Chains A and B, each alone.
Chain A
Amino acid sequence: MQQQTSMERVNGVSEYDVGDFYDEMFAHDASPRDNCNLLYKRVIGLTTLDLHRRKMAAERSMVRLGITFNVYGDEEGTERIIPFDILPRIIDADEWKWVTDGLKQRIVALNMFIDDVYGDQKILKDKAIPEHVVRSASSFRPQCVGLKPPKGVWCHITGTDLVRDQDGKFYVLEDNLRCPSGVSYVLQNRQLMKQAFPDLFESLSVRPVDDYCGQLLDALNYLAEDRAETPTVGVLTPGVYNSAYFEHSFLAQQMGVDLVEGRDLVVQDKKVYMRTTKGLSKIDVLYRRIDDDFIDPRVFREDSLLGVPGLIEAYQAGNIALANAPGTGIADDKVIYAYVPQIIKYYLGEDPILPNVPTYVCWDDKQRDHVLNNLHNFVVKPANESGGYGMLIGPRSTREEQAKFADLIKANPRNYIAQPTLSLSRAPVIIEDRLEGRHVDLRPFIIYGRDVFVLPGGLTRVALKKGSLVVNSSQGGGSKDTWVVEELP
């Protein structure tokens, strides 16, 4: 047996600096939180070398298994893995119950909102939110007015981003109601964790995530149950060069359904068919992972080669179900986001369980002035971007950047919101031979089918660069497995 010196051990955790943040694992006195005790004891017994080795083994598995995402504009080796940290993030079941309730409430209200906006527009007539805010949203699809999606559900799959502030309280940062990515990493990360820490799973009761794909398939089948005894379901992908291709392929594989591209589909007599070796074969439900703009060149962008001409007409005729329905993007416009508390109140008569991050909308003169005068304190986001692009992070910005954003805001106030910079919570991450705190967020996944299902946990994204607040994988962020722990050991 090799003698281990204390230097090699992770119990150099005493050097771990919680800092002035909420830490997901340690309290301010650097003692582990109750639900992290067992993990802490287990990890403390390992050398840093051992931890590092397990981390490398997990990342090697990812390369071997091709668990990758595509990087746009990167020439050599366009596939990368999302760096994976093997220390799980633990959330206890009571807290998770509350998060789940909050997410369900939010999704139900947002669906009612979308249905109303493309239907009677009562909420606009009642002036519960300003009409011009909806009309001016670039994600508003006039083509969808009057559409009646099957079972009245528009948004079947949601990935809502949550963050914790300094006080440890969860806030909704944004809702992703179009084609949210990341669930495949949740499922794969869990597999890797079982290899890395098999004994921990035996001693902690971690809520399983394996039934996500089964739930998704049920929800998709449900959409066509009136039209077909055994519906034919497909996942519609833009193709192998899309950054989330791995996920599209993974979900199709796990559900056992066809992964189709636009060129595999053809519309005849307002019905959608796949081109097969035996001729055309009808398809009933598409989980589409192509944005509205590209999905049907006859209705949206004419130059799109990814989509299926005539798809929307088939949809309007009720011959194909689309998840998510076209037009759902209206509810993740960041200005609309600012009104979600009012939306919940309007449709459900309830107070929101999960709070929004305080948000200023720049089309409002007063709020805009306040933002312009305090740009250095705000995070400014365009209403309709994702992936962390086009943002200003006030406290980290130069005067030139602030001036540039001031101009952008003045030129197009409707397109910008501002939020105070949150002090995002941190979680310990293995950095070479020690643990360091890194900022994290959380993306739980919600499926709206017959009922609303919330996957226990979700994707914890990690800003790997020291001090950085940007967790997006396209910008070098990593991920962690998220464990909802059933009961205290």
Chain B
Amino acid sequence: MLSRVAESIYWMSRYVERAENVARFIAVNLNLSMDLASEGHQQWLPLVTTTGDDKLFYELYDAPTKRNVLEFLTFDRNNPNSILSALINARENARSIREVISAEMWEHLNNFYLMVKDVGRAGGVSEEQLVFYEQIRASGQHFIGITDATMTHGEGWHFGQCGRFMERADKTSRILDVKYYILLPSPQHVGTPFDELQWSALLRSASAFEMYRQRYGRINPANIVNFLVLDKEFPRAILHCLSRANDSLHAITGSDPEGFSNLPEQRLGQLRASLAFTSAEDIVNRGMHEFVDDMQRRVNAVGGALSNTFFTRHAEAA
């Protein structure tokens, strides 16, 4: 497979996953803000922090009002991580590899982009905002389904899987990081309905609420960390994401799943192993933020190694 094509599939998948994640955060927060309105606890800045773009936000807007944050995260082309920017990037990547992906994938992604663009052009989201973000989330998930059902599960598909799961691992870690900070400094709320509401919101941000309930029943912070970081079977848990990325990486190279044949495989293997042999208690004791920080650095390092190994156009002619 052409290096350029592999790279485009990888980024196409990452960007769709990114758009979907941002939409999910927003939808959850819109919901939450309705419950919290009476308490005067509306918070919109954490959403920006989740995507890691606080600095850029303050360059472009003066205050983290609901309206500003929604604009910044949804339609602002100056924000490379806004939903619209992510979809433009996903679509541009898809457009450059239309001959490799299925017609259904392209058509869906093109429509997905047109849908968001049209709402933006028509003046942004208004009354039906929740529906709009649910639509984006659903479109992102449809894309995954269509990809799974129509694209040969060969090398290209595996690059897409790598992109999707790396992005998802990163986003789950960010959700934990930000929410942990919001939740931690309010001991007066511990055990109150307000506390429960916020932890539930965190789970919903990762589409993990029902699955968590099935597994653990009651809301409990240590169990939530366990579920979102270390669960082997939940598809948005960090360890699960890294394992799936690892599977695809080995499928691409054909190397022994227990060993490694190149730098990304080595780095990813090490990261997985260190997660597999830790526990929620270890993480909380060590410090959630420190853990997440380290995690993101290492996920990025895997991404860098992946790019150098497969996408960089080496072997120049003499």
- Interface residues of chain A, those whose CB is within 8 Å of chain B, are 63-66, 235, 239-240, 245, 249-250, 252-253, 257-261, 263-264, 266-268, 274-280, 309-310
Contact = CB atoms under 8 A, between A and B. Distances in A.
Contacts of B96: 239-240
A63 B99 contact: no
Contact of B317 (A240, A276, A277, A309): A309
B318 to A, nearest CB: 7
**Chain B interface helix/strand/loop/mixed:** helix
A274 B100 CA distance: 16
B1 interface: yes
A242 to B, nearest CB: 11
Given A240-B96, A277-B310, A63 B155 contact: no
Interface string B276-318: 0000000000000000000000000000000000110111111
A276 B99 contact: no
Contacts, number: 73
A267 B317 CA distance: 6
Nearest to A259: B99
Nearest to A280: B315
A259 B101 CA distance: 12
B244 interface: no
A27 B197 CA distance: 76
Nearest to B97: A259
Contacts of B95: 66, 240, 245, 249
B110 A66 contact: yes
A276 B315 contact: no
Contacts of B315: 266, 275, 279-280
Nearest to A310: B317
A277 B318 contact: no
Contacts of B92: 240
Contacts of A235: 99
Interface centre among A63, A65, A277, A280 (most CB of B within 10 A): A277
Residue from the set A64, A259, A260 with the largest chain B CB neighbour count within 10 Å: A259
Contacts of A278: 1
21 contacts: A64-B111, A65-B107, A66-B95, A66-B110, A240-B95, A249-B99, A250-B99, A258-B2, A258-B99, A259-B97, A259-B99, A260-B2, A263-B4, A275-B4, A275-B315, A276-B1, A276-B2, A277-B6, A277-B311, A309-B317, A310-B317
A37 B297 CA distance: 71
A283 B4 CA distance: 16
Nearest to A252: B99
B78 to A, nearest CB: 16
Contacts of B155: 277
Interface in B142-161: 155, 159
B9 to A, nearest CB: 11
Contacts of B138: none
B131 interface: no
B252 interface: yes
Contacts of B5: 258
A181 B155 CA distance: 32
Interface string B174-185: 000000000000
